[in-house]
Amino acid sequence: MAETTLVRRLGLAQATAINMTDMVGIGPFITLPMVISMMNGPYFLYAWLAGAVLSLIDAMVWSELGAAFPMAGGSYNFLKETYGKTGLGKLMSFLFVWQTMIQAPLVIASASIGFAAYFSYLVPLTTLASKIMSGGVVICIVILLYRKIEAIGKISIVMWVGVILTMLWIIGGGLAHGNFLQPIRHINDGITVNYAFITAIGFASVKSVYSYLGYYNVCHLGGEIINPSRNIPRSMFLSIAGIAVLYMLMNVSVVSVIPWHVAKDSHFVISEFMQQLAGNTAAKIVTCLILLVAFSSVFSATLGYSRIPYAAAVDGAFFKVFAKLHPTGNFPHISLLFLGAIAFVFSLLFKLSDVISAILAMRILIQFISQAVGLLILRRARSETKFPYKMPLFPIPVYLAILMWFGILISTGFHMVLGGLSAIALGTIVYFIKAKVNQEWPFNSAKLPAGKNL
């Protein structure tokens, strides 16, 4: 007989591997020159440090909530629990799923578009060919994920090894070049800490934070993590610490070979870095490895996001068709196929630079800021003993996370903020229509018979 619930089969190593492969992806390779260009100086490394600090602080919020509510769906459950299962939490959790159905395919599409863009270093692609390739990447990912979670855990370990080896090769190349410490020695050259510098950090952090996103992916898989109260926080902190070190060393390695004022205008900075060090063949090999990393990231992100509509549907808060598990593989196949289909369409329609800012603008208000505020509310309402993980210096990290996310939100630009607010407004209207029909909060009447929900 097929299992009807998710099974806990992912350990700490697999959870950390899934997080890290999601975090790296194509992000650091394509945003590296963007960050340098925005900072326009050797002090661009501070933008990467800012991204790491924000991620670590925000991970404390995710850790408290993830350890307390280790279920599939991550933020869906956090928002429902923190704002009340029968009250405002219904609206907040619905809005999270609503924006997930848009921004999750954007995340998947961004990695597939980046994959196609970097592939053009090997073989120049026309615009049409690039679109076909990015769509093909999404299709291949869905096919790979159409299997049992324990098999996926093994695949994630293999991909994680590929990610680490690629970055270690890049770092090792810079070390062998013999000029590795120069960027660090000159990091403060020309720096003036003023309003312009802080503003530049804010804008550059939009790109660097994008490269750290994914440290919380394990929370979306909470129902499949072994010993979640221990492994969910640990996997996040291990992921962020490991990736932060690798990002910093990689950036230093690259600009120790290619000066920052040259690297900022490069479209294939890692490939050109390796070409300068070891020739054309090595450049092509590292490009292939970067493509493997990008593919791995799409794999990991799609895995986590596919559990969110499933969790909401099981809870009766979303269309019930998404609650179906595969009869033999025991994974949410309808959710996987739907998100994959939307991501396929997005990969054909959008440009990468627009997708990065749109992803952040849509998520910050409903997901990051709202669940941080929700944790403050929940901590006042519940005993501390109900939180298996408790952050140090509470509530200071929560307030810091909220302030920093507001700064990142403003830095995405007016049009992106307006787009995010518009999506929230439309989702709110849809929720109230649904709530009116189903007689749910805030209409506060008896529930309809089973099967009558929208």
pLDDT at residue 68, rounded to an integer? 93
pLDDT band with cut points at 50, 70 and 90 for residue 451:
very low
Q: What does the pLDDT average to over 252-273? A: 92
What is the CATH code for 12-438? 1.20.1740.10
Residue pair 199/41 in contact by the 8 Å Cβ criterion: no
More confident residue, 156 or 195: 195
Q: How far apart are CA 31 and CA 263, in angstroms?
A: 11
Of 44-48, 233-237, 261-265, 318-322, the one with minimum mean pLDDT is 318-322
Of 2-11, 271-280, 424-433, the one with minimum mean pLDDT is 2-11
Of 30-39, 208-217, 235-244, 416-425, the one with minimum mean pLDDT is 416-425
Q: Is the pLDDT of residue 381 over 80?
A: yes
Q: How far apart are CA 167 and CA 21, in angstroms?
A: 12
Is 0.85 topped by the overall pTM? no
More confident residue, 126 or 296: 126
Q: Which residues contact 16 (CB under 8 A, 6 or more apart)?
A: 160, 218, 234, 235, 238, 239, 242
Q: What does the pLDDT average to over 258-285? A: 92
More confident residue, 4 or 39: 39
Q: Taking phi first (over 0 means left), then psi (-120 to 50 degrees means alpha), and beta for anything else, what does residue 40 get?
A: left
How confident is the model over 88-141, as pLDDT tens digits? 999 998 898 888 888 888 888 888 888 898 899 999 989 899 999 999 999 998
Of 22-31, 194-203, 232-241, 398-407, the one with minimum mean pLDDT is 22-31
Q: Taking phi first (over 0 means left), then psi (-120 to 50 degrees means alpha), and beta for anything else, what does residue 350 get?
A: beta
pLDDT at residue 303, rounded to an integer? 82
Q: Is the pLDDT of residue 187 over 80?
A: yes
How confident is the model over 322-368, as pLDDT tens digits? 998 888 888 889 999 999 999 999 888 877 666 666 777 778 888 99
Q: What does the pLDDT average to over 28-56? A: 91
pLDDT at residue 375, rounded to an integer? 95
Residue 72 three-state SS: strand
Q: What does the pLDDT average to over 194-222? A: 88
pLDDT at residue 452, rounded to an integer? 47
Residue ranges covered by each domain of the chain: 12-438
